[in-house]
Every structure is written in structure tokens, then in C-alpha cells.
Chains A and B, each alone.
Chain A
Amino acid sequence: MSALAVEAVWKFYGDYPALRDIRFSVERGQCIALLGRNGAGKTTLIRILAGLSRPTKGFVRLFGRDAGERATRAQVGIIGHGIGIYDELSALENLKLFAGLYALPSPARVAAEWLERTGLDRVKDGLVREFSRGMRQRLAVARAFLHNPQLLLLDEPFTALDDRAIALLQGLLRDALHEGRTVLMSTHQLREAMELATHVALINRGRLAYTGERSPEMLADPGYLYRVHGEA
């Protein structure tokens, strides 16, 4: 059973197909980089995988179950364009809230543990509104990882992160892959993505132009994929 199986997914906006017959699967322990230009459909696809949007046709299965099912979503961690944490709550309150929403047995302990891992335990009672950009990003990373998700969906995770947050995220992703968890990330930062990626998928105007293992030439020359499989 694949960690993630995308089965003939179409998404229409009106009569316009934003995603056309996307099919691929990702096995446990793999890290797939989702590449494509702006407007190619990467975010649309990730929103469908995250259960934030429903495919017009086709299915998405996470660990064999429908992605739309709420129970499935407990297995998924997300980093999106927005940091997804509340400005008017403190760092501790934010993490406790999300631990509660994911029905973790002891939210306070999990929150404290992640504050320590992200180096935010000193400021745990500070309101997020007063945090620096980097601190907010680290908190967002903690929010995405605190329920031990088996699948991580990251939409442009490295854009706008500072050095420390990048290091934190990369470390956590490496650990996750090591433990056999699965990662899917869309990215513009080809080099960072290629280092982690075991597989690659390229979306071109809503169509899957390429999917397969990441080859050595992609690592050496990140533009390779676009030139060979991208649009003319």
C-alpha cells in the first residue's frame, strides 16, 4: 500500500481544467519534489492532498484511505504559504491548541517538548504577534510536526525561511525520511529540494509531465528536468 496514491485526478475551475488526469504514487520513506512553474497546478494539487479541496474527478488515497476523510488527516502535517499559527495567542497556546485539535493524549507535554526542540521555550508565553519572522517560522515548523505525521505536505517550504529555520526543517525532514515517513514538497529552491528528494514529479500546465526517481544529473544540474521535460 502506497503512502500516497493520486488516481486520475482532475480539478476544474469552471470549465478550465487546472489539473488534468494526474496519476502517481509515493511509497513510504520516499521524498518527492513537486516541480513546475507558477500556475502549473502545484498548489492546487497540494490542497487536494491536504483535504482542503476536493478533486472534480478521481481519487487521492493516503495510506489506502480517502484523503477527504478526517481520520486520514491526523496522519498529515502541512506547511503552506501562511504560517498557520495565531498571532494573538502565545507560542505555548498555539502548540497546545494544535495538539488538542489532533487529539494528542497530553497536549501540554507535547507542546513543551516541541518548544524546546525549536528553541522557543524561553519565549513560550510571548504572543506570536511580537515574534520575529524566524521565530514564527520555527513555530510553524513545530506546528506541522508535533503530531508525528506519517506524511508531510510542504508547499514552497524553503521560500522566505531564514537560515536557522531552514536548518531545523531540513533536519526534521531527514529524520522523518529516516524513520520511513513520507514527504511531498513543492519548491522553487531546486538545490535544497534535490538534495532531499528521492523522486521527482514535474507538473506542466496541469499535466504530469514527468515522474520518476531523481537521477544524478538532476542533482548536478537542477535545470535539467525543465529543459528535458518542461515546455518548449
Chain B
Amino acid sequence: MGLRDKIMIGLGALAAVLLTRNIWVMLTGLPDEAFQGAIFRIIFFHVPAAFTCFLCFFLALVAGVVYLVRKNLQWDAFAVSVTEVGLAFGAINLISGMIWARIIWGIWWTWDWRLTSMLVCWLLYAGYLVLRRAIEETTERARLGAVMLILNFSVVPFVFFSIKWFRTQHPQPVLFGDGKMDEIYRTMLYGNWVPLLLIAAVLVMLRMRQENQQREIDALRRAAHSF
């Protein structure tokens, strides 16, 4: 077992321990929130998932830019891995939000600016994966993918501002009245981000290894066909 595997297993184990501890505290230690009842606990996954998602998208931008400068395919492998993991956490954010909305608001979906923006961002990055699927040659895929990551990330602020303006024209249900939260809840919210980040890191490492192996296989296949 290589060092990389040991690190991955170590991080994964740490994530599992932290997550178990957090869930235990959430279920037994924290009181129900006054207005929302038991379901409010979903926020400890919902919000850190969004943080993780946008951190991933930001790292993907960095990886794309570095790839274009250095032309090292490791950075492309990192870009695609981190985007996929970001999309997974984006999906967790969207789905957990929908479950919460069903119970508190009685509807699965509302065109609140946060929900809409998240969905648009999710689609933008899903588009990146679709683009990659359509390009066969590895180097071309890396190059065009990096360009798309730059375009995608540049439009994210526009998406958030415009949808916020657009939607605040009509009153919508708001998440927490004035955005304030009790100290114990806030601690748990950030505390639970740590295991989610660890899980994200392990997934990115796994996916990157897979991507690097795929590239090696492609090169070998190509070499075999050139005889």
C-alpha cells in the first residue's frame, strides 16, 4: 500500500469519526430550533455542502488557469476531479434544500434567488462535463475544458447578482429572517464542514488517480495502435 493510499484511508477514517461524532451531537446534544423543529438539522449538511461546492468550483478555475500556463495534464485531472466532486456536493445542497423546503414551506421548489442561482451554477458545471465527454483527444479536452472553466467561473457572480435582483422584485420566503444564528448552531455548522471537506478531498484524490490511469491507458492503447 503506497503512501497515497494510506493518506486517503487516514483522511477517510478521520472524516467518518468526525461525522459520527457530529451526528451524535446533532441528534442528542442540540435542542430543536424554536420555529422549524427537528428538520432544521439538515442545515448542518446543506450549508457546508454549498461551501464545499463553491470551493471546488474555485479550485477548478485555478486548476484550469494553471493548466493553460503549464500544460501539465495533472492539473487537468485535478480540474475534472474537483468539478465532479463539486457537482456532487452541489447536488447534496440542492436536494437537502428541497427536502427542507417541502417540510417547512410545503413545496419542493421555489424560485428563490439562492435556489435558482445554485441550479444555474450546477448546470454550468454540468455543461463542462458534457463538453469533456464530447472531446476524444486528451490534450484538446484539457485545453477546451480549461477555457470553459474560466468562462463558467466568470459568469457565476453575474448569475448571483442578476438572479437576486430579478427575484427580489417579488417577495419570496427567506431562509433565516435576518441571517442571525445561535452560537451553538453556528459552531456545528462550521464543525460539520470539516468532515465534508475531508470526504471531498478523498474523493478528489481517488478520482484523480483514476483520471491519471485512464490517461496512461489511452497512451498505451495509442502506442499499440501505431505499430
Contact = CB atoms under 8 A, between A and B. Distances in A.
Interface of A: 12-16, 39, 56, 205-206
A56 B222 contact: no
B71 A14 contact: no
Contacts of B226: 39, 205-206
A16 B222 contact: yes
B137 A13 contact: yes
A15 B137 contact: no
12 contacts: A12-B139, A14-B138, A14-B218, A14-B219, A15-B73, A15-B138, A15-B219, A16-B219, A16-B223, A39-B226, A56-B71, A56-B139
A39 B139 CA distance: 18
A15 B71 contact: no
B35 to A, nearest CB: 55
A14 B73 contact: yes
Given A13-B222, A14-B139, A56-B139, 10 more contacts: A14-B137, A14-B138, A14-B215, A14-B218, A15-B218, A15-B219, A16-B218, A16-B219, A16-B222, A56-B71
B210 to A, nearest CB: 15
Summarize A's interface: helix, strand, loop or mixed: loop
Summarize B's interface: helix, strand, loop or mixed: helix
Interface residues of B, number: 12
Interface of B: 71, 73, 137-139, 215-216, 218-219, 222-223, 226
* 8 closest Cβ pairs, A-B complex: A14-B138, A15-B219, A16-B219, A16-B222, A14-B215, A14-B218, A15-B215, A14-B219
| Residue with the greatest number of chain A CB neighbours at <10 A, chosen from B73, B137, B139, B218 | B139
Contacts of B222: 13-14, 16
Contacts of A14: 73, 137-139, 215, 218-219, 222
Nearest to B221: A16
Contacts of A206: 226
Contacts of B216: 15
| Residue with the greatest number of chain B CB neighbours at <10 A, chosen from A12, A56, A206 | A12
A205 B223 CA distance: 9
| Residue with the greatest number of chain B CB neighbours at <10 A, chosen from A12, A16, A39, A205 | A16
B176 to A, nearest CB: 48
Nearest to A11: B139
Nearest to A54: B71
Contacts of A12: 139
B207 to A, nearest CB: 17
Contacts of B215: 14-15
Nearest to A57: B71
A13 B138 contact: yes
A15 B226 CA distance: 14
Contacts of A39: 226
Nearest to A206: B226
Contacts of B218: 14-16
Contacts of B73: 14-15
Nearest to B225: A39
